[in-house]
Amino acid sequence: MSSAKTLPVSVDDLTALVIEQQKKLDHQSLFIEQLLEQIKLAQHNRFGVKSEAISPDQLRLLLDEKPAAEPIADDEADNPVEPASQAPIAKAKRGRRALPAHLPRIEINHTLDDERCQCEHCNERMVPLSEKITEQLDIIPAKVRVLRHHRTTYHCPGCKDALKTAPLPPQPIPKINATPSLLAWLIIAKYLDGMPLYRIERKLARYGMPLNRSTQASYMIQCGQLIQPLINLMRDGLLSYDIIAMDESRYQVLKEDGKTPQSQSYIWVQRGGPPESPVILYDYDPTRSQSVPLRLLDGFSGYLQTDAYEGYGAVCRENKLTSVGCMAHARRKFDEALKAQRSVDPNKQKSTLAASALKQIQALYKIERDIKHLSANEKYAIRQEQAVPLLTELREWLDTNMLVVPPRSTLGKAMNYLHKQWDKLTVYTTDGRLRIDNNLCENAVRPFVMGRKAWLFAASVDGAKTSANLYSLVETAKANGHEPHSYIQHVLSKLPAAQSLEDHI
């Protein structure tokens, strides 16, 4: 603060001082507003609803719009009539849901014995008239058993040293006492159900089966190495199609050369392949550098759909890929802006702008819901007819309002993201096979994230690579509609006997 003695005397100098102080106050006010937005958003993320869903009615309230009136027929416009009483709405039929038809049925017959089958009035023997069927859902708990293989040894009566023993079928892991079914059960328990090995150990102990976690970890690593040829074939299928989506998530590995246990490594997820046989692959890497996509996508050409992470830029330039953006990320940022400004925006100007953006993006998603069952050519035609005009309106809205919003506010960041990613976000309208967002790949990341919450980290690099391979197998089986346990048991049973590429296929 300037004292009375140091204040300038001239009017011009005083004016300049006032302007300078006003700029500082404006800067401080803007900084305080940004801090309040961050606090509000942090509170919502911790205590509020996690869903990004927002109803059109709520957006209409924020935008002070009235509900769209129902169109009136020409013959009714001049002759208003009293509203007729509404017909009663048919209620959904209540009752127990039918049990799935694909489940096997065990028939149990109930009949009356001779004494109870006598008529109470005339003492005649009653005869069957009809049949009532009641279905109950039953489950057989996991059953642990021991398979004993009796292998006969043969000798030649004429040759003392000629002996032959009937061999065992090829085993997934030689010289262990675990069957393919048990190994598949362990893989499903950890990589599908998200159970850490110590909990699996306790569960097996309840069945009277001692199997400590270190033995389980050894089994997992050997299974991950066994399926590597199959993973290689899956990668060939992934790269053979010209659309791939990618995402990444952190992964902590305790024993890693050149890194402390507290440092972060990464799991990289790729989803692609032909639509009728999708492939989901997970890859471990100690870094998040741009060299990883270059390695994973070596030889690939076509479309690459990702978020805004700049680490994918190098592979797009090197392989001349068409980069496809994720509209869900843009929508999420406007949703965050709306949540952050509800209590710090007294004039509701920024809230109205955020709601307006969400409403326009919501209209784009409605088109995608309506056309999701159509062919790629039909999707392309409808997007050109309906989505492109909406995107043009959104671009005009962005150009009009972007300069009047502070760039460091949550709304300013959302607008800046939409502006910088615009070319990538609109690519999906040029090819009916493309998606408006990267949600399918993000959904593939979710099982790994849920598992990580349970088992927290990988003890070694081998364990991390094993997790990547086994997650690839489990999630690809799910994406193709296979029952995971049956599929993995089949793979572990047949893969050891495969001797050529045709056998693997």
Please write down the HEC assignment for all residues of 37-72.
Answer: HHHHHHHHHHHCCCCCCCCHHHHHHHCCCCCCCCCC
Residue 286 resides in a domain: no
Q: Are residues 402 and 496 in the same domain?
A: no
Q: Are residues 424 and 495 in the same domain?
A: no
d(CA 348, CA 354): 10
- Cα distance from N-terminal residue to C-terminal residue, the chain: 79
The reported pLDDT for the residue numbered 498 is 81
d(CA 421, CA 202): 49
d(CA 126, CA 21): 104
The reported pLDDT for the residue numbered 190 is 95
Q: Are residues 398 and 496 in the same domain?
A: no
Q: Are residues 413 and 330 in the same domain?
A: yes
- Residue segments in the chain with a per-residue pLDDT below the cut of 50: 69-87, 505
3-state secondary structure (DSSP) of residue 140 = coil
Q: Which residues of 147-157 are buried (b: 16+ CB within 10 A; e: fewer)?
A: eeeeeeeeeee
3-state secondary structure (DSSP) of residue 138 = coil
d(CA 449, CA 120): 67
d(CA 470, CA 197): 15
d(CA 283, CA 495): 21
Residue 160 resides in a domain: no
Residue 390 resides in a domain: yes
pTM assigned to the model: 0.81
Q: Are residues 497 and 433 in the same domain?
A: no
Residue 300 resides in a domain: no
| Bridge partner list, 271 | 245, 280
Residue 404 resides in a domain: yes
Structural domain boundaries, residue 494: 172-227+487-504
In terms of Cα–Cα distance, which of 230, 250, 242 is closest to 305? 242
The reported pLDDT for the residue numbered 93 is 64
Q: Kindly give the pairing relationship between strand 458-460 and strand 253-255.
A: parallel
Residue 422 resides in a domain: yes
- Domain limit, last residue, from 409, 437, 465: 437
Residue 8 resides in a domain: no
Residue 357 resides in a domain: yes
Burial of 418 (0-12, 13-18, 19+ CB in 10 A): buried
The reported pLDDT for the residue numbered 380 is 97
